[in-house]
C-alpha cells in the first residue's frame, strides 16, 4: 500500500493543490484496486483508524474526478464507480463492464470509435460507450461450469 500512497501523493502534488491524508489514502485505494470501485467499496477499504468519514470520501472522489486523476461512470445499478484515469485516457473513452461480477475496465481508445451523426444544430456534450460481457475470470468460470455439466 505504501507504493500506492507514494504514487498517489505524486499525482496529487502535480495538480498544485494541497496534499491531504484523505486525498492520498482514497487515491491509493483506487490505484491498488485494479478496477472501478463504488463509494462504499472505497470507504470499506480505508483503514478505520484513519478517521476518514463517508462525506470526506465522497468529496475526495469528486475532487479526483474534477482534476482528471480519476473518472466516474454509472453502472447498471445507477451507482457511480470510480477508477484512476490511465495515462493518455483523458476525457471520454469506452469501458467494459462484466455482467457477472460488475468489474469495470477502461478500454483503449481506437480510431474506429463510433461517432454518431447528430441532426443539424445539435451539439453533443458527452458520450458513454460501454461494452458488456464477461471478464476473463468470469468467462473462465463459465467455461469450467459448462464443461462439468457436459460430463
The phi, psi pair for 56, rounded to 5°, reads -65, -40
Mean pLDDT of 44-60: 94
C-alpha cell at 110: 481506437
Note the CATH architecture for domain 2-150. Orthogonal Bundle (1.10)
- Percent composition of the chain: helix, strand, coil (DSSP 3-state, to 5): 40, 15, 45
pLDDT in tens, 15-38: 999 999 999 999 999 999 878 899
When pLDDT is cut at 50, 70 and 90, the band that residue 1 belongs to is low
Predicted confidence band at 124 (pLDDT cuts at 50, 70, 90)?
confident
Higher pLDDT, 11 or 71: 11
Among the ranges 33-37, 108-112, 132-136, which has the highest mean pLDDT value? 132-136
Give the residue-averaged pLDDT of 127-132: 80
From CA 80, how far away is CA 62, in angstroms rounded?
Answer: 11
| Across 54-60, average pLDDT | 97
More confident site: 41 or 100: 41
Q: Indicate the domain borders of the chain.
A: 2-150
Grade residue 141 by pLDDT with cuts at 50, 70 and 90: confident
Specify the pLDDT at position 63: 97
d(CA 140, CA 142): 5
Helices 2-13 and 21-33: angle between axes, nearest 10 degrees: 120
Q: What mean pLDDT value characterizes the chain? A: 85
Amino acid at each position: 500500500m505504501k507504493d500506492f500512497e507514494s504514487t498517489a501523493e505524486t499525482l496529487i502534488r502535480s495538480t498544485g493543490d494541497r496534499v491531504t491524508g484523505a486525498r492520498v489514502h482514497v487515491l491509493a485505494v483506487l490505484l491498488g484496486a485494479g478496477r472501478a470501485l463504488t463509494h462504499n467499496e472505497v470507504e470499506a477499504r480505508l483503514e478505520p483508524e484513519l478517521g476518514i468519514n463517508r462525506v470526506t470520501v465522497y468529496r475526495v472522489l469528486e475532487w479526483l474526478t474534477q482534476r482528471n486523476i480519476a473518472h466516474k461512470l454509472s453502472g447498471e445499478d445507477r451507482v457511480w464507480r470510480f477508477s484512476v484515469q490511465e495515462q493518455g485516457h483523458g476525457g471520454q473513452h469506452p469501458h467494459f463492464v462484466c455482467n457477472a461480477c460488475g468489474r469495470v475496465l477502461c478500454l483503449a481508445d481506437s480510431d474506429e470509435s463510433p461517432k454518431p451523426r447528430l441532426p443539424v444544430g445539435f451539439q453533443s456534450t458527452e458520450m458513454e460507450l460501454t461494452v458488456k460481457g464477461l471478464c476473463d475470470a468470469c468467462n473462465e468460470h463459465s467455461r469450467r461450469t459448462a464443461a462439468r455439466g457436459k460430463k
